[in-house]
Amino acid sequence: MARSFAAASSQYLSRASAVVGAAPMTMACWFYSTSAATLQTIMEVSRTGSAGTTDKYRMILRGDLAAPNKTLQAQQIPGFLATTTVQYATNQWHHGCAVFATTSSRTAYIDGGNSGTDTTPGSPGTLGQTLIGAAWDSSSSTFAAFFSGRIAEAAIWDVALTAAEVAALARGFIPPQVRPQSLVAYWPLGGRYGQFDLDRWKNSLNLTPSNSPTWVDHDRIIYPQPVVWPQRVAAVGGATPWLYARRRSQIIGAGGIT
């Protein structure tokens, strides 16, 4: 399953705190956009407050630009933005990732590669909220740039993931399998975890839906599978007991697959 957002209905998910307060930071998810005509926000960690508080880190789609510039961008304010080298296509699933290594280095990825990097310096101020499917518009002190389509398997790390780790996510590995020691929040938004906006990682950084986004299907994801051995003890009730252990090869870290 995945969360489905209708921009016309101003639908989004939010948390009234920044799950990560500064770079380094990585945000990633699967997305399925139904619009090639508007600026859309996939994920954002931003500052709240009155006009002028524009500071933020976010991953956006530039459907508002003419082809061939309908790309995914990793944007930092103040600072600048990194742009993928290929466009996104509507009505199909893509994997998106925005890596903010420092306040002067950011990289945007689509489908595990096609990356673009920017090194313009900037230092966002104190951040105070986390959003999926919308951006904070400081000029009007409201939400804007709503997403049109589906989002699933969203996550944020407090490190800059490597290109190899981003590629692993795009192959279908779930966020807890990639640098789990640095994963801060993981929102499956459906799947095997049910129709909830809960953080399924250790910090319980749950999200709150606004304006009733719905639930729809999502492509297959590679969830961890156990290695199973028959236990060499007497059968219980006519059945053989089993022991389970997670494969180490399903955990992907800074040094690659371990």
Q: What is the pLDDT of residues 153-179, one digit of tens each?
A: 999 999 999 999 999 999 999 999 999
Reported as a pLDDT band with limits 50, 70 and 90, residue 48 is: confident
Task: Return the closest-CA partner of residue 52 out of 141, 144, 146.
Answer: 141
Is-contact 35 59, C-beta < 8 A?
no
Per-residue pLDDT tens for 190-225? 988 889 999 999 999 999 999 999 999 877 677 776
Q: Over pLDDT 70: what percentage of the chain? A: 84
pLDDT given for residue 234 in this prediction: 40
Reported as a pLDDT band with limits 50, 70 and 90, residue 253 is: low
Per-residue pLDDT tens for 67-106? 999 999 999 999 999 999 999 999 999 999 999 999 999 9
Reported as a pLDDT band with limits 50, 70 and 90, residue 232 is: very low
Task: Return the closest-CA partner of residue 156 out of 218, 201, 209.
Answer: 201
Lowest mean pLDDT among 39-53, 155-169, 229-243: 229-243
Cα separation, 156 vs 182, whole angstroms: 9
* Residues with Cβ within 8 Å of residue 18, at least 6 apart in sequence: 45, 46, 127, 128, 129, 130
* Residues with Cβ within 8 Å of residue 55, at least 6 apart in sequence: 46, 47, 77, 78, 124, 125, 126, 127
Residue 178's identity, in one-letter code, is V
Task: Return the closest-CA partner of residue 60 out of 91, 81, 89.
Answer: 81
Residue 198 Cα to chain centre, angstroms? 14
Report whether pLDDT(252) > 60.
Answer: no
Cα separation, 95 vs 48, whole angstroms: 28
Cα separation, 132 vs 209, whole angstroms: 9
pTM: 0.87
Report whether pLDDT(108) > 70.
Answer: yes
Question: Hey, which residues does 202 pair with through a beta bridge?
Answer: none
Three-class SS state of 182: helix
Tokens of residue 15, six digits: 């948390």
Mean pLDDT, range 179-194, rounded to an integer: 93
